[in-house]
């Protein structure tokens, strides 16, 4: 089945640790995104990538890093510099970003909790 797979579903992080959230898609989409969602808030864009080996900062990129070495994969690292990382993280993809009418599809999300 085609789709977007995120792992792990639940992750606990100790203070000062880096953690990496995995996102894989088999939709052959060029563009991939990472959003963060906090209770009572909308989705906020962390990073996006339009093509392999290229990515752009979103609205809240500080304390996060990404890579895009393969078309199918867009992992997100939450670094120790991110002071308030507890949130629901959503990975998404779309055919591209360079034309309108381009629908974004989401993975199932990853819950990250700092303990």
Partner 1 sequence: GQNIDQPTEMTATEGAIVQINCTYQTSGFNGLFWYQQHAGEAPTFLSYNVLDGLEEKGRFSSFLSRSKGYSYLLLKELQMKDSASYLCAVRTASGGSYIPTFGRGTSLIVHP
Applying CB under 8 A, which residues contact partner 1? 33, 35, 40-45, 48, 50, 56, 58, 88, 90, 97-109, 111
CB of 16 to partner 1, least distance (A): 28
CB of 63 to partner 1, least distance (A): 20
Given the complex with partner 1, which of 18 and 41 has the nearer CB atom?
Answer: 41
Positive or negative CA dihedral for 23, 28, 32, 38? negative
Helix (H) or strand (E) holding 34: strand 31-37
Helix (H, G, I), strand (E, B) or coil at 1: coil
Given the complex with partner 1, which of 65 and 97 has the nearer CB atom?
Answer: 97
Tell me if 16 sits within 8 A of 80, measured CB to CB: yes
CB of 111 to partner 1, least distance (A): 8
Distance, CA of 9 to CA of 83 (rounded, Å): 21
């Amino acid at each position: 089945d085609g789709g977007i797979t995120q792992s792990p579903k639940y992750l606990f992080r100790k203070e000062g640790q880096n953690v990496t959230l995995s996102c894989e898609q088999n939709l052959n989409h060029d563009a991939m995104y990472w959003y963060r969602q906090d209770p009572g808030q909308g989705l906020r864009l962390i990073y996006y990538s339009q093509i392999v080996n290229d990515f752009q900062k979103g609205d809240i990129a500080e304390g996060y890093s990404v890579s895009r070495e393969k078309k199918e994969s867009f992992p997100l690292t939450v670094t120790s510099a991110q002071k308030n990382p507890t949130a629901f993280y959503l990975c998404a993809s779309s055919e591209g970003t360079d034309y309108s009418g381009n629908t974004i599809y989401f993975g199932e999300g990853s819950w990250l909790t700092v303990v």
